[in-house]
Structures are given as C-alpha cells and as structure tokens.
Amino acid sequence: MSDKPAVTATVSTSEPIAHAPNLDDSSLYIHRELSQLQFNIRVLDQALDESTPLLERLKFLLIFSSNLDEFFEIRVAGLKRQITYNRLRIDADGIQPQQALADIADIVHQQVTRQYQILNEVLLPKLALENIRFIRRRFWTEPIQRWANEYFHAEVAPIITPIGLDPAHPFPLLVNKSLNFIVELEGVDAFGRNSGLAILPAPRSLPRLIRVPEEIGGPGVNYVFLSSMLHAHANDLFHGMKVKGCYQFRLTRNADLSFSAEDVTDLAHALRGELSTRQFGDAVRLEVADNCPEHLVDYLLTQFNLSETELYQVNGPVNLTRLFAITNLTSHPHLQFAPFVPSIPKALQKNTDIFAVVSKQDILLYHPYEAFTCVIDFLSQAAKDPNVLAIKQTLYRAGANSEIADALVEAARNGKEVTVVIELRARFDEEYNLALASRLQEAGAIVIYGMIGFKTHAKLALILRREEDSLVRYAHLGTGNYHAANALLYTDYSLLTSNKALCEDVSILFGQLIGMGKSVQMQKLIHAPFTLRKSLMDFIAREESNALAGKPAHIIIKINALTDAKIIKALYKASQVGVKIDLIVRGMCCLRPGIAGVSQTIQVRSIIGQQLEHSRVYYFLNHDADEEIYLASADLMERNLDKRIEACFQLENKKLVKRVKKELKLYLEDNTHAWLLQADGRYIQQQPAALEPVQHAQQTLLEQLSLFVADVSNPTQ
C-alpha cells in the first residue's frame, strides 16, 4: 500500500495549538477505495470466527465475494475510467488513480488467495463433518457417475450452446459475471474446422449447485457443482472431437450507469437505455481456474484487453456467490444464527390504531430488533382510513415484492392523493424501481423521478388526515430504506411522529421535490444539499469552542462511511483542542485516528456482526444546554452532503435521547465484534482484557429489544 506515514507532532489537548500541523497534508487521509477494501477484509475475517455458526461463517465468506464484485464493477471501474478519459480525481489523500489501482491489485490478490484457503482448508472440511459435502469429480462413486450422466443429458445438455471459435464465429460478447468455460479441442469437425478452441457459456437458468439424491450420494446433504458436470461431460458436447481441457472463467465488467444530466429529457427513458448496456461494460477483472494453462489465460486476457494484474486465478469455483443457496439449510438450524422475532412497542400492542398512538407520542423503532411491520402498518392503515386524504412518500429501495408499494397502490385506488418520489438511480435496484413506478402510475398515483443531478436519498413518508375540524399531518422519518427484507438484516432507526413543526418541514421538503421554488428555511428538519453540511460543521465547532473554554466536549457519530475532507478537517480541529470524539464507522473511513497533535482524542471503530450496521446517528454533548442526538439518512460523504437529498432530524423527547445514547454506548463498549482503526489504516479486532466481561452490542440489543430469541444451539431441543 502507498499510504504515507502519519504525522507525529506532539501537542497538548487542552490548550490552543501554537504550531498546528497542516491539515491539508495528504498523509493525514486514507484513500477511500483502500479503506473500502479494509472493510471487505473485516467481513472475510468473520469466516474464521469460531464463535459464529458455521453456515454463517460461510455466508460472510460469500458476502466478501459479493462485495468484491461490486467493488470492481463500480470502484475499480471508476478509477480505470478516470485514467482512460484523463479525468483524474485526486482526493485529500493525494494518491493517483494509477497508484490506487496498483495497491488494490496487491491487496485483492492476497485476500482472494486467502479466501479460497479459508474455504478449502477450513470451511469445507468443517461442513463435511456436519454431513454437508461438495463432492469433487475425482470422488464420484459409480452411482454418482450414472446419476450425473443421466442428469446432464436430461437437464443440462439441451440448454447448453457451445460456441466454436473461428473467423466466422468470433469470440462472443459475454455477460457481466456470467460463468463460462474455455475448451481446448483436438481434431477436425464436420466442416473441416480445427481452430482448437470453443467457449461454453453456462446459462443462468441452470443451478450452479445440484443436490445429489440421498439414495445415491449417501446420508447427509451432498452437492456437485455444475462445473464438475460440464467438465465430466465436455466430450459429449463436441462429437468426434477430443477435449484436451475445459476451464471455467468469469469476467467482471464496469456496471456503473452514467449519462449526461444536460442531455436527459426523460429520466426513465434514459435509464432504460443505460440498463440495456450495463451487462456489457468494459472489462475490469478476469477470474480463471488456477489449473488453466498459461497460453489460454493469455488468450483470454488479450480478448478482454486486460493485464496480468487484473487476472485472478482461483482454487475453486469462480462464482462463489452461488453458494448462498445452501446457507439457509432448514436441515441444519444449529449451524445458523438463532432466529429472533422483532418486537412491537408496548404502546402499539395496547392500541392497534397507530394514528391514535402517534398523535399522543413519538414512536422510535430500532430495526431489526423492533418490527418494521409497524411502518408498513402505518401506511396500510392510511390506505384504508377514510379520513386520510393524501400520502406522500420517498422510495430509494423498496424491493420487488413490497408491502409498502401494495399500501400505496391501495391508497391510490381508494381515491387518496398519492404522490411518490422514486429514486430511479438507486444502484442495482433501477429495474425494480422502474417497474414499481409503472405499477404506481397504473394505480393512479403521481410518480416523480427525483431531481436530475441530485439523488433523493431521504427516507420520508407524510400522511395528511382529517380529524374533527382540522387537517393533521403524520410522518415517518428513517435512517434506512423502505425495504422489508433489508429491515431484517440492517440496523436502522424509524421515527413515527405527529410533531407539528417537524411534519410541516417534511411537507415543505416534499414541496421542493415535487414542485419548484427557492429553498425555504425550516424549523426542525436539516436537509442536504442546503443546510446539513453547515449544521454539522456548526455542531462540531460548538464542541470545539466548549473545549477551548475548558468545558466538557464530546461527539459520537455512527455512520456507514466518512470520506468528506471538510468534515474530517473539522473533526481534526476539534480533536486538537481536546474534544473527545468517538466514531462508529462501518465501512470507509478516510480519517486517521490517534495521531499526536492531530487526532489523538479520536477513536474509530467498526462493528461487524450478524446485522449490517446501517443507522446514522449524530450525538453532541452541547454542555451549556441539553445534549443533542440527530438521526439522518446521510453518511459523511461528499455525495451525501452536496449531491443528494438527505434528511436529518433531532430527537427532542428526552426519554428517546437517553435510549439512543445508551444504545450508542453499547457499541462503544463492544469488545468482541469491534475493530479499531489504527493510524496506519489497519484495523485490529478488540478482545476482552483479562477478567473483563464480554461485551457484544448486537447480542445485547437482541436480548433487550427483540421479542424472542430462539435457542437452536442444541438441535435436539
């Protein structure tokens, strides 16, 4: 890696700094893509955690693969594009894209080798001890061979289309991340061709893992890979030819979408056009079986215009993510995390009329420990309630089968005024969102596609209801998406409220998104791109001023990413005068903590566990008044603060403030699943000290908030 050495000047943390270090020094910043790689490595490390159930360990290893796919499709592709078009972007770390790509290649090659070692030497043997086996071809018994032969000719061969390579059959255009085989042949075919090469694309309709019937494979759960079947029967696909070798490979392409905002007259139409080309972007990575001969590897690299540094030779399947299919085996519950049931707040248990409850008190939910169904019910009741006149909603990700969408469709069909702001450019959810937009329009809803040049990332719903002689607004504000499946995996806060000023602000923001007009000063809501950056900078500066005045000063920020150089500088300045700063950053963090004279009062930790930490929380001690907690849809990235519509809101109920502060404290005390960022960019996992009690934040939250945690540690119970 090319990260530069840290500044080591020593200063007092309680007085103004006489000779402060230059905060523009590039050595004070970590490159964002290299930091993202460190997050992926932390995910891979979970596959070695023996306290985690075995199938969950396999799942973490597969998540590493999935994350790496997106990293190449978007991050690496973006760096390559900068170089190709000579539009170099050099961030505060000062690292050139060419150097970043070289560092990325070094790290990823090491980690991919390590990943397959963990799979082959640790996880697969342990799974075999649990009677879950992946039977390699050399271990096929005669009954398995007969069964595989019958299966291949009945289910696989009719779908496979081998492509011989010759001047009339050039190398095919292969789909992004598809499984393919390069086949080396000997002999002359019926037309006299003897090019010696063919490509065998594996149709996506075919399963990559095929379960062997128990009466044939023996007791337990046994699988063979589709690749093993194709290797075993390759000769059957090239009649009269001799197959000298058959080797799997997979190509990763640039999957980012880009179009000029100035040229767009219809965003949905432009996006549909881009989606049709996503599968065929420029090549960025080639994965090949490690037994593939060098001359065939060179041939493939030439076809895709890739270099050796972009080649990854792997000891196993090139498409590991297809193993996700076995991670939820119902036959092996003891190898998975214990299931839990999200709880419902007592106020909503006592009274199922959500509007009656929320009219009297704010309801704060922490998903997945508390039920996202409360948010769904909020909208479902509104759809049916004859007193509800209008619903306004933002949707960034909602999923293919969404109860939220069902409620909005029902509301529109019931004659209510339904307006939905759908962000069509939510990465990799674009097709779902286009389909959802069409469905809502067909039901009579007004659909807005957000703002050109600004992604709508705020999580907001507004309901207008007639009560007696007045109109009352109710709102939902969240830190995460309206995606029910994600709400079972991601930690996020939801607030249901009828606070008049806050709901009016939400109404104003919808007015900005749907209509036109100047930005309006709001009472409660802080929003990007207009007021969020300045407000956060002001809050940080206030803590800095308090520290300079000798008062206690403390900042806690829990987010997914910290890359914005201006925010980092503000935190450095606050640290220099003694502000205690605790950062809980799941993924990318470009700030270097623990540098004397710069960031010695800053600690950065990342929590990796059963749930994906996704909530965004901003805490400020604010010594001269009440401590403040803000919940937001925004991370501290340039795109969130300057190029997205984001919403941030303060918790004003002291009981809720106390609750969220207590939950933040759990993360700060975690000594089992917390990784501490070092000044050199490495992360070190925390371990309990001798006689120190074990602290596991996510487990504690499960026990305190969820309704029921099932014990499946003993499969006989």
Known catalytic membership, residue 457:
yes
- Rg (the chain; Cα; Å): 28
397 is in an annotated binding site: yes
Q: Rounded CA gap, 678 and 251, in Å?
A: 35
- The closest of 77, 115, 114, 116 to 97, measured between CA atoms, is 77
Lookup result for tokens 């037994």 = 291
Lookup result for tokens 């004659």 = 415
By CB atoms closer than 10 A (0-12, 13-18, 19+), residue 276 is: exposed
Structure tokens at 453: 């040049």
Q: Are 514 and 419 in contact (CB under 8 A)?
A: yes
Q: Rounded CA gap, 643 and 633, in Å?
A: 13
CA 203 vs CA 61, 153, 179, 230, 268: distances in Å: 25, 15, 8, 12, 29
CA 530 vs CA 509, 538, 566, 636, 641: distances in Å: 11, 14, 16, 15, 8
Q: Which of 367, 457, 476, 554 is catalytic?
A: 457
Q: Rounded CA gap, 52 and 58, in Å?
A: 10
42 is in an annotated binding site: no
Q: Which residues pair with 677 in a beta bridge?
A: 683
* 483-512 CB burial, b ≥16 within 10 A, e <16: bbebbeebbbbbbbbbbeebbbbbbbbbeb
From the DSSP assignment, how many helices (H) and strands (E) are in the chain? 21, 29
H helices within 261-335, ranges in order?
267-275, 294-304
Structure tokens at 48: 């070695």
Q: Rounded CA gap, 483 and 399, in Å?
A: 6
Residue 75 gets which letter from DSSP? I
Spatial neighbors of 607 by CB under 8 A, at least 6 apart, are: 584, 586, 613, 667, 670, 673, 674, 675, 697, 698
DSSP assignments along 539-556, one per residue: HHHHHHHHHHTT---EEE
Exposure of 43 in the CB half-sphere (CA atoms within 13 A):
24
614 is in an annotated binding site: yes
Q: Rounded CA gap, 234 and 136, in Å?
A: 16
CA 324 vs CA 31, 61, 407, 484: distances in Å: 31, 10, 31, 20
586 is in an annotated binding site: yes
Instruction: Detail the residues annotated as belonging to a binding site.
Output: 67, 397, 427, 490, 586, 614
Which residues form the catalytic set? 457
Instruction: Detail the residues annotated as belonging to a binding site for Mg(2+).
Output: 397, 427
